Chains A and B, each alone.
Chain A
């Protein structure tokens, strides 16, 4: 059974970098898929942040591209999100997820982590 678990600081100061990790169990990241990050501000809708392949190929939301880096660490079977120069608008629940299709970013996400709340506040 594939499981995803987000981890990282729950509080980040404005202008600093938000860093989260998603640990994958029950499946080897090296075997495929484009692993994704999605966020949801309090009381608002979902926003796709970006996805990374097992080989490190990345795709980002154009609105966040200048501030985001998503990377993969196959040795630790995890992938990570870095969001730079955060503001209060980046306060959200951050989810990591795996899509249904192994070979592209085209499909929906059928396996999700439980989500982690990150608050940007001084």
Chain B
């Protein structure tokens, strides 16, 4: 299985909004509403930010939102803050009952 496709990097200024895309296929992203997003700071374990395409775990800021259209899922972060600077990964359930991750996106807050 090939990794989901994410942009290598995105950037934005404090207060702005950014969107990170995650493109797969009908066998993963497009076929199921089981897309998750993770935030990872250097040297730390990933933190789940979004599950089930658009659901936020308890404690995650409502500045983070998820959506999906066809084979592409998106993570939007509004009101960017310095602490949002991190790597972000998407993942999806697949038709083989497996999980697949995206290659990751480095978010820089300017």
Chain B residues numbered 8-55 whose CB sits less than 8 Å from any CB in chain A: 32, 34, 36-38, 40, 45-48, 50-52
A45-B89, A48-B91, A107-B36 are known contacts. Are A100 and B99 too (CB-CB below 8 A)?
no
Complex CA gap A100/B57 in Å reads: 9
Known contacts A100-B51, A108-B91, A110-B51; is A62 also within 8 Å of B104 by CB?
no
Q: Please give me the residue from chain B that is nearest to A51 by CB atom.
A: B99
* CB-contact partner of B32 in A38, A51, A106, A112, under 8 A: A106
Chain B residues near A62 (CB, 8 Å)?
A: 1, 96, 98
Return the chain A residue nearest B96 by Cβ: A62
Q: What bracket does the count of chain A residues touching chain B fall in?
A: 20 to 34
Assess the A108–B48 pair: CB atoms within 8 A.
yes
Q: Are A106 and B34 in contact (CB under 8 A)?
A: yes
A51 to B45: give the CA distance in the assembly, Å.
Answer: 18
Query: In the bound complex, what is the Cα–Cα distance between A48 and B38 (angstroms)?
Result: 13
Q: Which residues of B contact A95 (CB under 8 A)?
A: 45-46
Most buried by A among B38, B40, B48, B101: B48
Asked whether any CB of chain A lies closer than 8 Å to the CB of B3, the reply is yes
Contact of A100 with B101 in the complex, beta carbons under 8 Å: no
Chain A to chain B contacts (Cβ below 8 Å), 7 pairs: A45-B3, A48-B101, A95-B46, A107-B36, A108-B50, A108-B51, A109-B36
B interface list, Cβ under 8 A from A: 1, 3, 32, 34, 36-38, 40, 45-48, 50-52, 57, 89, 91, 93, 96-104
On A, residues with C-beta under 8 Å from B are 36, 38, 45-48, 50-51, 59-63, 95, 100, 104-110, 112-115
